[in-house]
């Protein structure tokens, strides 16, 4: 390849955004083996977590998370020839998450706010450095993370807080419109001022 083309390709690759970012959002993907004796325990815990509000509340307390999921993978999908069948020696914990800001800050919150949850979930694997502190956990995640091949978000420039505020403002505006249909000018002014008071934290 000509030197000019090589240099152009290198410049284009360096200018391209990382595969794990979109707008203000970052994603984190991990695929880590589970020690065989812990697979049934982890499966049971994940099933129970769907029905135990406290388990959900622990992860939902973080307002910077757009999406988070843990999945146990027992086999790789097979789509027929020419793909070769792949047999996994272990079952794997597949973790996916999208959030506002660099993943290092995200892991700080995990390590210091819900360390028992994290130790129970990821600690069923190998060489897991149970938090706290957060730094060994960050090193372990950096070693096991992978780039996302496809990354989509409907609102890449909006944080979760911005989206929630927009929804709250819209809902309050709908109520204002309904309340003011039969209002006179003075009554509408009072309703509008109350609307501004109610949503000022979202603007």
Enumerate the H helices of the chain as residue ranges: 3-15, 39-49, 53-60, 103-113, 115-122, 134-144, 160-179, 185-199
For residue 6, the model assigns a pLDDT of 46
For residue 11, the model assigns a pLDDT of 47
Helix (H, G, I), strand (E, B) or coil at 115: helix
**What proportions of the chain, in percent to the nearest 5, are helix, strand and coil?**
50, 15, 35
pTM of the model: 0.69
The DSSP output letter for 129 is: -
For residue 120, the model assigns a pLDDT of 85
Beta-sheet strand order (sheet of 65-73): 21-22, 25-33, 92-100, 65-73
For residue 14, the model assigns a pLDDT of 47
Tokens found for residue 95: 């973790």
For residue 39, the model assigns a pLDDT of 92
The domain segmentation of the chain, as residue ranges, is 17-144, 160-202
For residue 195, the model assigns a pLDDT of 92
For residue 168, the model assigns a pLDDT of 92
Cβ(195)–Cβ(172) below 8 Å: yes
Rounded to a whole number, what is the largest CA-CA distance in the chain?
A: 76
Local confidence pLDDT in tens for the 203 residues of the chain: 444 434 444 443 444 445 677 777 788 888 899 999 999 999 998 888 888 777 777 666 677 777 888 889 988 888 888 988 888 889 999 988 888 877 777 788 778 878 888 888 888 888 888 788 888 888 888 888 887 767 777 777 888 888 889 999 999 999 999 988 888 889 999 999 999 999 998 88
State the Cα–Cα distance between residues 132 and 113, nearest whole angstrom.
9
For residue 19, the model assigns a pLDDT of 63
């Amino acid at each position: 390849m000509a030197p000019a083309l090589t240099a152009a390709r290198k410049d284009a690759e360096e200018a391209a955004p990382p595969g794990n970012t979109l707008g203000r959002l970052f994603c984190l993907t991990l695929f880590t083996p589970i020690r065989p004796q812990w697979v049934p325990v982890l499966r049971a815990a994940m099933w129970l977590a769907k029905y135990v509000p406290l388990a959900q509340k622990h992860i939902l307390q973080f307002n910077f998370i757009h999406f988070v999921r843990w999945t146990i993978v027992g086999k790789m999908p097979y789509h027929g020839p020419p793909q070769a069948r792949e047999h996994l020696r272990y079952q794997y914990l597949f973790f996916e998450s999208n959030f506002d800001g660099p993943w290092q800050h995200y892991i700080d919150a995990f390590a210091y706010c819900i360390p028992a949850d994290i130790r129970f979930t990821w600690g069923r694997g190998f060489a897991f450095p149970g938090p706290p502190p957060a730094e060994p956990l960050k090193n372990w995640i950096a070693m096991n993370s992978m780039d996302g091949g496809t990354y989509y978000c409907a609102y890449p420039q909006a944080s979760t807080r911005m989206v929630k505020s927009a929804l709250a403002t819209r809902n309050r505006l709908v109520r204002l419109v309904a309340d003011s249909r039969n209002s006179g000018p003075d009554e509408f002014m009072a309703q509008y001022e109350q609307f501004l008071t109610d949503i000022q934290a979202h603007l």
